[in-house]
Structure 1
Amino acid sequence: MTSDVITPEDLVAAARAGQPLHDVRLDDGDLRETDLAGLVVEGGSLAGADLRGTRLDRAVLSRCSLAGADLREADLTDATLTGVDLSGARFAGATLGDTRFEGCRMIGTSLRGVRGLAASFVLTGCNLQLADLGNAGLRGLRVTECDLSEADLSGADLRTVDFERCRLRGTVLRAARMESADLRGCDLGEVTPETPGALRGAVVSPVQAAAICEALGLTVLE
């Protein structure tokens, strides 16, 4: 089904029928507590939509915009979002069990207070600059090729998180749990005297360790 302007009823009908939607337009739509389980959308925009409490479990969303959308208390269990613009979207209280975010634009997105974050949760190739993940439970997660520059991870549980080729330039890690978090291969940005405290317990490479020692005024000799 292809549509320029679509109604909430159209979305519900398409989800129930298992009918994919292409290039939809429903900016600022009121979709609160709507059952959109299994919805498939490719292209278009739901920017600014009110999706509080909405069922989006098993949804497949690609190349569309949810910029500024309100997804608080929404259920995105087993949902897959690929190339979706989620800039400024809010996920407080949302259920994200086994949710996949792949190549998404998540600048300034708020993931503070999400539910169901577990090791199966996927973040791959996403731009999370300035995102708010304060106090998020990310233990055991694999985060691959994501840009977390200037994101807020203060108080987050990052134990055993595998950060693969991520950017952590200016990332706020105050009071984060970093035990066994693997930062090897990551861009840590400018190393300062405060860096060792922020990274306490993390796994770093010899090159990163040397840079940290240099910031502390230490000389490492082989």
Structure 2
Amino acid sequence: MDRASIETLSKNGMAYRLVDCVLEETDLSRLALDGWVFEACNVKQANFTGAKLSATVWSSCKGGLADFTGCDLSESRLEACDFNNSSFRGTTLTGALFERCKLTGANLSEAKTLNLSFNETRMADARLPGLSFRKSRLNGLDFQMADLRKCDFRDAVFQDCSLRDANLVDCRFEGADLRGADLGGIRLLNAKQFKGATISRDQAGQLLAELGLKVR
């Protein structure tokens, strides 16, 4: 399908379900597609800049390098999708859910993220500065080498997660339970940010080893 076909459907004011649709490199910017369902669609390098996509459902879609800059994905559900290296810069993600997705290298800078949820999602090398995960239960999230500067993890519970080699400058972890997180490669440049967090004995030894200290 091309832009003209999608635009014609969008003018009907109805929400459509697209299955196995090929929209690779298609310009869908600024279209109103609220409530649409995209199932097993190819949206690689598609341009959704400024599009209205609230309450949409994305299932098993391939969208590497897709551009969602400044669009509205509020209350949307994204399941088992591959959005590696995609841009969600400035995107409204209020109430959205990413479930079993691949967001390696994705850019969520300046996104609006109130009540945004992730579950079993890979975000290695992603840019997530300033996101709030406060009081969240984080399950199966891979933040390896991600940019997490100024993220808020206060009172969050980590389960089967990885923070290995992530950028944690100015993050907050007060009250967080980090026992279910891989803390490999983390340097305690500012130990105060972990004040009040819970870690295991093994993790404590690992962090001290990063400082060159030996635990006996």
CA contact (8 A) 1:121 1:141 kept: no
Consecutive unaligned residues of structure 1, counting only runs of 5 or more, are 1-5
Q: TM-score, normalised by structure 2?
A: 0.88
Please point out which of 60, 64, 67 is paired with 2:64: 67
The match for 2:125 is 130
Please point out which of 146, 165, 170 is paired with 1:170: 165
Matches within 5 A, 1:175-186: 175-186=170-181
The match for 2:97 is 100
The match for 1:159 is 154
Aligned length: 213
Q: TM-score, normalised by structure 1?
A: 0.86
Q: Does 1:81 align with 2:78?
A: yes
Task: Tell me, in whole angstroms, the C-alpha distance in 1 between the residues paired with 2:186 and 2:102.
Answer: 27
Task: Tell me, in whole angstroms, the C-alpha distance in 2 between the residues paired with 1:25 and 1:166.
Answer: 33
The range that moved more, 11-20 or 130-139, is 11-20
Matches within 5 A, 1:3-82: 6-12=1-7, 13=9, 16-82=13-79
Task: Tell me, in whole angstroms, the C-alpha distance in 2 between the residues paired with 1:157 and 1:122.
Answer: 14
Q: CA deviation at 1:200?
A: 4.1
Q: CA deviation at 1:167?
A: 1.1
CA contact (8 A) 2:32 2:53 kept: yes
Q: CA deviation at 1:174?
A: 1.1
The match for 1:145 is 140
The range that moved more, 128-137 or 189-198, is 189-198
Q: CA deviation at 1:30?
A: 1.2
Letter in 1 for 2:92: T
Task: Tell me, in whole angstroms, the C-alpha distance in 1 between the residues paired with 2:110 and 2:132.
Answer: 9
CA separation of 1:135 and 1:193: change in aligned 2, threshold 3 A: closer
CA separation of 1:160 and 1:9: change in aligned 2, threshold 3 A: farther
The range that moved more, 206-215 or 183-192, is 206-215
Determine helix, strand or coil for the equivalent of 1:81.
strand
The match for 1:3 is none
Letter in 2 for 1:151: A
CA contact (8 A) 2:165 2:186 kept: no
Task: Tell me, in whole angstroms, the C-alpha distance in 1 between the residues paired with 2:174 and 2:193.
Answer: 11
The range that moved more, 199-208 or 182-191, is 199-208
CA contact (8 A) 2:18 2:41 kept: no
CA separation of 1:212 and 1:83: change in aligned 2, threshold 3 A: same
